[in-house]
């Protein structure tokens, strides 16, 4: 089962208005994540708001039957996109969704916000 990266494309970091940016930070991050994920065979989607607006940019890593995670506080930069995609690739390889800490890409450390256990099978 593939692990998906869901990217909030409406996130705006605190200084967004001061920077006078025309595009949201989330959209900029999504544009960086999408080609990297495509190259790695990881599906992505954009959503408008993951309800973590005070600590954007936010993404979620999910796969059916596995632990799901939301991660935030990313800047819309290449290094963040690379770390997100690398983490999603590791998540995809696990049975449970739990990637051992020693394997975490440096760029995701300190960015975990929530963890959701999978729903029980009925
Ligand atoms: S706008 Fe991105 S989490 Fe709300």
State which ligand 1 atom lies nearest to the alpha carbon of 24.
1
At 1, the pLDDT band (50, 70, 90 cuts) reads: confident
Domain 4-116 has CATH 3.40.30: yes
- Are 34 and 27 contacting, i.e. CB atoms less than 8 angstroms apart? no
Structural domain spans, the chain:
4-116
Alpha carbons 100 and 118: distance in angstroms, whole number? 18
- Write down the residue that tokens 């959503």 correspond to: 47
Question: Ligand 1: which residues within 6 Å by Cβ?
Answer: 8, 10-11, 26, 49-53, 56, 58
Helices (H) and strands (E) in the chain, counts: 3, 5
pLDDT tens sequence across 26-69? 999 999 999 999 999 999 999 999 999 999 999 999 999 999 99
- Quote the pTM value: 0.97
For 85-97, how does the pLDDT look when each residue is reduced to its tens digit (9 = 90+)?
999 999 999 999 9
Name the residue of 25, 29, 55, 58 whose CB sits within 8 Å of the most ligand 1 atoms, as the mutation to test its pocket.
Answer: 58
**pLDDT more than 70, % of the chain:** 100
């Amino acid at each position: 089962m593939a692990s998906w990266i869901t990217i909030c494309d409406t996130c705006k970091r605190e200084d967004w208005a001061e920077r006078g940016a025309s595009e949201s930070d989330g959209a900029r991050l999504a544009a960086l994540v999408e080609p990297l994920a495509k190259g790695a065979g990881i599906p992505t989607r954009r959503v408008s708001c993951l309800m973590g607006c005070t600590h954007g940019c936010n993404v979620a890593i999910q796969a059916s039957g596995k632990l799901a995670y939301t991660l935030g506080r990313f800047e819309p930069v290449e290094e963040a996109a690379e770390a997100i995609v690398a983490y999603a690739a590791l998540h995809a390889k696990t049975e449970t969704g739990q990637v051992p800490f020693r394997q975490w890409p440096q760029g995701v450390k300190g960015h975990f916000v929530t963890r959701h256990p999978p729903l029980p099978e009925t």
